[in-house]
Structure 1
């Protein structure tokens, strides 16, 4: 087995170890025995990669929720701090007014004081001041009660938000370990295969992709012509094309590596139209569009669980981050089972004139499927 294939086969494990804690218990490698049929091996690998990708999307969704929860905890902590300052100020003000009123009050009725006063106008003015102090004190006491109630409620919300954040962090760790475990299963299976099996698997994948692409284009489900993108779609396409050749890494959103939905979400974020982080959220939240109306920048979503996504380039091609061990590349749209497509900017008008970005010749090299095995290099005899 060549050194190039070993590097490809181990990419996922190396990337995972860079950011993950080790899993304490892992499944044993396949037991030795008769050579398994290639189709059976491919089915096994497809299932394992799909499980890993689904776990990755679940992890990504939890990561996004955790980021929002961190922001909510910070917001509530800041609001609680301001509420405490307001409560402290209200208490000081209430005490000051109480002292002033106490110092101004005598045992003589205001009416008697007015009758006995040498300067009735002065007495009237003094009574007005006392009344004003009483009203201010009442208002301050009311504000004090409101501040105390608000602080109690904010403290309750802050505790609840922190509990939610801790629960999400624990869930994230569990999902992170699951992704690592799934990828480790794939790596062990790859390591157990012979060079002949690897070559046969790669050939079977290429044949499957070519057949699926041919069937899609001849069925008429995909338009023979590509309409121009919107201005935002053009920016998203050009951003994605600039990432060609960068490695897939699960959970990554750039700028040096991406997973499938990390690439699509960042492309549209840089286009000025933020979209959900995960492929499942993109499929659930964005407007759907028929395949025969696809324009560059639209997102093509794959598998029944919506666990993979790519960005449409036009002419039946997509740019995608396929899977661990692969790099961002240009692939046939039918490289994976299509669930449907979505459009992040349905209200944007298409450009009057459109010149697609230049695609390097090397952009189509490497595996297209989001599951399976890296394409091996035929070993050089020694």
Structure 2
């Protein structure tokens, strides 16, 4: 193996150990979005119409929805980055073991060369010609054949180990590139999350106290109307499934988190985002499920709403950006959004995309 390969392996190993030591990515604080210039109204022109409180509510909801989608992208990139970091470390360990095997082979080859030197520098075949005893001659032939086989085996092992080391180095480089790509995805998603949440809070902060109270009441009314319409469809008459043993454990965990704040990217124990709550609840029940709501929708078995049972996960919105856990009687427990706490809500209070079952 040439020095370039050894250097590459060493650099990759150092990079992998750096990943372990860092404990996770560090990001520069995202720059605040540029402030839009104040609009200038020409003399005599009509003033721009003020938005209604309902329009403000819809805009706030849209901003939080976009933040939720970005949170899913961030969580997925973080999960993939963790897997790639672990793979890089594994490859680095294989590279270290491969280099140790190469060093051992070279030591054995050197030992054989030193033994030949001590024998006068003549190869074994030449030394054998000088032997007078026939039996020693025959024994010597056997030893030469064994030595040739051992030498061939050493060369074969050296070639294979060098090829393995080159493969490990190439794989580690590929994983490192993927890791860096996911770091960039995380940074981009983090910036978008912060911008959307900041924009939503800015709208909320502009409201007077009475207006904000009316806004909250409007939010509750919208959710109530959606839930009433869902229940009015008679859907609960068809839903009569019972929770599995693991489902009961997941529900027990999730409901114990009621009152804890929503925090994007959080998986507990003090705060959660929506999929952080559901994934940790099912982990507590002994089942590992995907980290994000979009991956939960993509990878977990789907069931019809009429076949839903407590413990199942309801995925919301067309982009699968929200998830809650069905707990029975037409209700879910979920982590709603920034500024809200884990709570119980109507299962039909948001647009249902579908239902998945972690323990099917």
Q: With structure 2 as the length reference, what TM-score do the two structures score?
A: 0.84
Partner of 1:244: 258
- Pairs within 5 Å for 1:197-276: 197-223=211-237, 226-276=240-290
2:249/2:284 contact within 8 Å kept:
yes
TM superposition shift of 1:35: 4.2
Give the Cα–Cα distance (whole angstroms) in 2 for the partners of residues 228 and 30 of structure 1: 57
TM superposition shift of 1:109: 7.9
TM superposition shift of 1:185: 0.5
1:113/1:123 contact within 8 Å kept:
no
Partner of 1:367: none
Q: Which of the pair has the greater relative contact order for Cα pairs under 8 Å at 6+ separation?
A: 1
Confirm or deny that 1:152 pairs with 2:166: yes
Give a deviation string over 1:105-151, Cα, whole Å, max 9, x none: 356485x556x32xx22332222112211110111011111111111
Residues 225 and 164 of structure 1: is their aligned pair in 2 closer, same or farther, counting only changes over 3 Å?
closer
| Paired residue total | 324
Partner of 1:83: 98
TM superposition shift of 1:251: 0.2
Give a deviation string over 1:248-287, Cα, whole Å, max 9, x none: 0000001111000000001111111100000000001011
Partner of 2:56: 41
Confirm or deny that 1:74 pairs with 2:81: no
SS in 2 for 1:246: coil
Confirm or deny that 1:299 pairs with 2:313: yes
Q: With structure 1 as the length reference, what TM-score do the two structures score?
A: 0.79
- Pairs within 5 Å for 1:332-347: 332-346=346-360
Q: Unaligned 5+ residue runs, structure 1? A: 1-18, 347-382
TM superposition shift of 1:27: 5.0
TM superposition shift of 1:200: 2.3
Give the Cα–Cα distance (whole angstroms) in 2 for the partners of residues 20 and 143 of structure 1: 45
Partner of 1:57: 72
Partner of 1:12: none
2:125/2:144 contact within 8 Å kept:
no
TM superposition shift of 1:160: 2.0
Partner of 1:25: 32
SS in 2 for 1:256: coil
TM superposition shift of 1:50: 0.6
Partner of 2:304: 290
Give a deviation string over 1:77-120, Cα, whole Å, max 9, x none: 1111111111111121222234445637356485x556x32xx2
339, 346, 353: which is aligned to 1:325? 339
202, 207, 217: which is aligned to 1:193? 207
1:269/1:275 contact within 8 Å kept:
yes
Give the Cα–Cα distance (whole angstroms) in 2 for the partners of residues 318 and 107 of structure 1: 85
Residues 52 and 61 of structure 1: is their aligned pair in 2 closer, same or farther, counting only changes over 3 Å?
same
SS in 2 for 1:214: helix
SS in 1 for 2:326: strand
Give the Cα–Cα distance (whole angstroms) in 2 for the partners of residues 320 and 29 of structure 1: 35
2:225/2:349 contact within 8 Å kept:
no
TM superposition shift of 1:220: 2.5
